[in-house]
Amino acid sequence: MAVFLRGLPGGIRIREFGKGKEATQGLPIRDAKAPVRVVVALRQHMGEPNVATAKAGQKVDMGQVIGAAEDLISAPVHAPVSGRVVKLDHCVLPNGLYTPAVVIDNDFQDRWHASCTPRDHVDALDATQLLQIVREAGIVGLSGSAFPTAAKLAPVAESPVDTVILNGMECEPYLTCDHRLMLEASEQIADGLVFAQRMLGAPNAIVGIEDDKLDAAEAMRQAFANIGANVRVEVLPARYARGSERQLIYALTKRTLRQGILPKQVGATMLNVGTAAAISCAVRQGKPLIDRVITLAGRIAEPANLRVRIGTAIADLIDECGGLTEGVEKVVLGGPMMGAALYRLNLPVIKGVNGILAFGKESVLPQARPCIRCGRCHDSCPMGLLPNHIDLVARSNRWDLAQKHNAMACMECGICSYVCPSKRNVAQACATAKAAIRVRQAEKAQKG
């Protein structure tokens, strides 16, 4: 059942998904088994792809750059294991993109590259030096967006940032990896947030956490007290999709992000808690982003929160957790609302993956019925759109009308499909419309 809430545009509380978090929220993070072979995609971030710097037959160490970033909106990739490069190949990403990849056989020595050493006197590093460390570490947003963090934290003279917001909401059902990080690595997260403030010259920082994670809120308050940081921790009612950038910035600062406006233009920047922890790890320990925490839940025999090496096969992680239970109809990468259903399980983990969930028949939509114009999709849309209108024109390929209905503002949260009594896949129609509009815009740009 979806409960419609007011105070912010749209949003719902998903009651029947509430127990999804209970399976893993009490499970400490543990290291996944080291993979025998990793397939490291050279494009696992928003922006320009990387250029391979490794060669077939070459020996590599953990943390060694194997894909160089040659653009500001990009992030290098590093070897997550020590071993030998088997070949330069291609792989299919969970989003369906076909991209170059570096395949490495693990020698199980866990030999770190010489560049990956702890730093002394980190408090003496200035903003430029800190930003270069983040850029070289290949850190991206770990909530799923995978936007290069160095680009997000680069100061812009015409848009000074006074507030850094730390996103600890984790409002998607089932996912608990951020919750566990806040409990187990709270001081590392707090440390990374302070570094982010220094890079941006931002005097203020606010942490947003949902009220179903009160233990995490207390852990973060204590962590900031321990390091002497004056950071406000705000507890907000659990509500999907309040963890989105526009929604959370408004909830914590009352600053409105209109379509086409970036957070820096209203004086704010938002980081995920996993991203903040990765910043601390890079600055203090000299370690790049070669692993991340992932929740495995749903119809998986042994649900878990695992720290996983980038490039590990999804099938291997499911096997490590006892495999799929009977009746699985769908495996989803990410959360149940915004995640993508997988067509095969031998795909590699990339930096933006935060969950692997398995579902049964309950996840398969029944035959869609005609729209009854009940207005639920509009009432719950966080962007205040008319999703049913976009759905109707998209089904007849009227991309001009979809654009007039502001389809490009859709954040693809999935709420419209979830609340639809006619079980129409409205979210997919909106996503299709956005893709078609982008193609039309690119074609117009080419024609001049």
Report residue 5's pLDDT band, with 50, 70 and 90 as the boundaries. very low
SS3 label, residue 264: helix
Contact (Cβ atoms closer than 8 angstroms) between residue 373 and residue 347: no
Give alpha helix (H) positions in 303-425.
314-320, 376-380, 387-394, 399-404, 415-419
What is the CATH code for 117-285? 3.40.50.11540
Report residue 160's pLDDT band, with 50, 70 and 90 as the boundaries. very high
pLDDT tens track for 388-400: 999 999 999 999 9
Do the two domains 33-116+288-361 and 117-285 of this chain adopt the same fold? Answer: no
Give CA–CA dist 180/212, Å, rounded. 13
pLDDT tens track for 136-154: 999 999 987 788 999 999 9
Give whole-number Cα distances, 187 to 143, 225, 281, 294, in Å: 19, 10, 11, 20
- Predicted local distance difference test score (pLDDT) of residue 66: 96
Q: Which helix (H) or strand (E) holds 100?
A: strand 98-106
Give CA–CA dist 173/167, Å, rounded. 16
Cβ-proximal residues to 343 (8 Å cutoff; 6+ apart), any chain: none
Report residue 12's pLDDT band, with 50, 70 and 90 as the boundaries. confident
pLDDT tens track for 207-264: 999 999 999 999 999 999 999 999 999 999 888 888 888 899 999 999 988 877 889 9
Average per-residue pLDDT in the chain?
91
**Inter-helix orientation angle 273-280/186-200, to 10°:** 80
- Predicted local distance difference test score (pLDDT) of residue 38: 97
Domain residue ranges of the chain, discontinuous segments joined by +: 33-116+288-361, 117-285, 376-447
pLDDT tens track for 383-434: 889 999 999 999 999 999 999 999 999 989 999 999 999 999 999 999 999 9
Please state, for a pLDDT cut of 70, what percent of the chain lies above it.
Answer: 96
Using alpha carbons only, give the angle 407, 410, 416 rounded to the nearest 5 degrees: 105
Give CA–CA dist 97/91, Å, rounded. 8
Contact (Cβ atoms closer than 8 angstroms) between residue 251 and residue 268: no
Residue 19, pLDDT above cutoff 80: no
pTM above 0.85, yes or no: yes
Give CA–CA dist 214/202, Å, rounded. 27
pLDDT tens track for 187-207: 999 999 999 999 999 999 999
Give whole-number Cα distances, 98 to 42, 94, 439, in Å: 10, 10, 18
What is the CATH code for 33-116+288-361? 3.10.20.600
SS3 label, residue 93: coil
Give CA–CA dist 237/417, Å, rounded. 23
Report residue 1's pLDDT band, with 50, 70 and 90 as the boundaries. very low
pLDDT tens track for 333-378: 999 999 888 988 999 999 999 999 999 987 777 788 999 999 999 9
